[in-house]
Amino acid sequence: MQLLSFNLVGTGATLALADGATGVPKKCKWFQILNVDADVLNIGGAETDSTHGYPIDTTGANFQPPIALTMEFYDMTAINFFLSNAANGVLLCAV
């Protein structure tokens, strides 16, 4: 398993995690998102925006645990995030 790290910079728009930074894989065995300095960082499904989704407080993190089955992964194209404009976050994931 390989651990990857990506810096996320907010655009004030909702994006899929796979589109959050160059090189983010489309599938991960587990992932964690850290809110470095954003007023708003929400993650979730298609309805995620500045007021919807799971909120992650400044300097807080959300961890999605490993999927044990060999051929199952989190779909990073289907998990969305909203990050305040010019704010920073970090995505860690394992492939």
In this structure, what CATH number is given to the domain that contains residue 46? 2.60.120
In a domain, 39, yes or no: yes
> In the predicted model, is pLDDT for residue 1 greater than 90?
no
What is the pLDDT of the chain when averaged over all its residues?
Answer: 95
Q: List, for residues 10-69, the tens digit of each pLDDT value.
A: 999 999 999 999 999 999 999 999 999 999 999 999 999 999 999 999 999 999 999 888
Instruction: Provide the domain limits for residue 56.
Output: 3-60+71-94
Please state the pTM of the whole predicted model: 0.93
Tally of domains in the chain: 1
Note whether residue 65 is domain-resident: no
Supply the DSSP string of the chain, one letter for each residue.
--EEEEEEE--SSEEEGGGSSTT--SEESEEEEEESS-S-EEEESTT-SSSSSEE--TT-EEEEPPP-STT--EETTT-EEEE-TT-EEEEEEE-
DSSP β-ladder status, 41-44 and 88-94 = unpaired
